[in-house]
Structures are given as structure tokens and as C-alpha cells.
Amino acid sequence: MTIDSHQHFWKFDPIRDSWITDEMSVIQKNFYPKDLQPVLQANGIDACVVVQANQSIEETKFLLDLANNNDFIKAVVGWIDLQADDIDEQLANWKSEKKLAGFRHVLQAEPDLEYMLRPNFLRGIFALKKHGFTYDILIFPKHLPFTQKFVAHFPDQPFVLDHIAKPYIKAGLIDDWKKDIESLAKFDNVHCKVSGIITEADWKNWTYEQIKPYLDVVFEAFGTNRIMFGSDFPVCLLAGEYTQVKGIIETYTTHFLASEKSKIFGENAAKFYKINE
């Protein structure tokens, strides 16, 4: 089973979704399963993992409703207030939702770079493992040093780094990010999504040659057992088409073993998010 490990759905709200600015007009609209399914089929993708874009319990319920009514959506990464006093009870209540695989907080938007190290946040992450949930790490490169301290608290918690930590591809900066990625990858419970890459490059003028050095870093650091393909649809449409996004990883893995490609394009995501056929 081939899996897109990272995409989004939303009913566009200009107030709530103010991060979608006017220069992003191509995604200033609703995106539902009917918009993605034919794209997946055209690109040989069997299933997907939908990830939260809004920080609310309503978002988690919205995504679960879509997943429960569309079989190709195999897993949901929702949102929950990890700092809530009753986080343990809340997580226990969510366990009945079979497609709810994990949670994410938009750490990249927090002014405090050390937000993830707050005691109450750490307490919430600790509770995830107890109830069998994963955690998606959404950050910028400047957060990577703190992320190493963060994951060190939880050697048994399944983590996945979204969008290879959004390196500064457009500016051509790589050295500091590379060093921090290599350090983070030493934690073997941390996986990595090769997703959201073209939107960190020049939207109109990116090339495969500009992106390849960043892929070299993550593939060398994480290896094929801990990397999963993700499109970041529909956000990827800001800089290209779905076929181009998938094509980057297909080109990069041209000479990989078939077994390695199967892991990157599905098996790793299925194992991480506990997706069954």
C-alpha cells in the first residue's frame, strides 16, 4: 500500500486561516477528500494521513468525520491541548477512535522557542505514549537545538519530524540545519517526513538540483527505515503540482532497492501510524 503521509483538508475561513495570505490565493478555498482522491489515484497513491491545520478539538472531530467516511484516509493526526490538566483522561477518551493515530501542535508559530520544554507540555507528551499516540514535530530550523533536548525526555515516544524542519532552501542555507538534523537523527525513535519541501524553495523557480543537497542530508541521517513520503497537499500547490512533489522523491530514489522504495512510499508510514490494509 502506497501512502501519502502528510496532507490537509479544510473549510476555508479567512479569519481562522489568516496564515493563508493573498499571495497564497491558489489555496484560499475549501479542500475536501473529493479534491484529493482523484489526485492520489492519478499518482499511484492508495491512501493518506491527514494532519491538523487548525488548533482546536473541532478540527480533530472534523478530520475524523472525513476519515470515517472515506476509506482512503487511513489515519488522522489531530490537535489536543497537551497542557490540559485532564490530558490523561482526554486521551483515554479518544482511544476509541481507531483512525486517530496521533497529535500535533504548531510549535513553529509559538514565539517562545522553548515552548516544547515547558513542564506542562512535557507532561502531555509523556501521556501520549501511555495511550499509544504518535507526535508530529512541526518546527523551523531555529527550533532544532531545543528539539534535541525535547525528544531526549522520551526515548520510547514515536516522533516524526514534519517537512524536514523547513530548511532555508530558497536562501541556500544548509550548514547549521545539517548539523542539527544529524544530531536529532541520532534519536532512533525520531522519524522524518520528506514533505513540504518545494514551498521552502523559490515557489516559481525551484529546481531539483537545489533541493537534492537537503535530501542527501536527511536520507544519510535517518536512513530508509525512518523516512516517509508526504505531499503536504494542498499547501504544495503554492509551488507546484502533486506529480512534481512525488517526482522529486521518485527521482532521488531511482537507484534505491525496491524494498527501500516500498518503505519510503508506504511501509514506514503504515508502521509508524499503525495503519492496516
Number of domains in the chain: 1
Q: What is the pLDDT of residue 264?
A: 98
Considering the chain, what is the average pLDDT of its residues? 97
Q: Is the dihedral of CA 234, 273, 71, 104 positive or negative?
A: negative
Instruction: Determine the structural domain holding residue 237 and report its residue range.
Output: 3-273
pLDDT tens figures, 75-89? 999 999 999 999 999
Mean pLDDT, residues 203-226? 98
Mean pLDDT, residues 9-24? 89
Mean pLDDT, residues 186-192? 98
46: CATH: 3.20.20.140
Q: Does residue 277 register a pLDDT over 80? A: no
pLDDT tens figures, 226-276? 999 999 999 999 999 999 999 999 999 999 999 999 999 999 999 999 998
Cα dist from 113 to 49, 95, 116, 129, 169, whole Å: 27, 31, 8, 24, 21
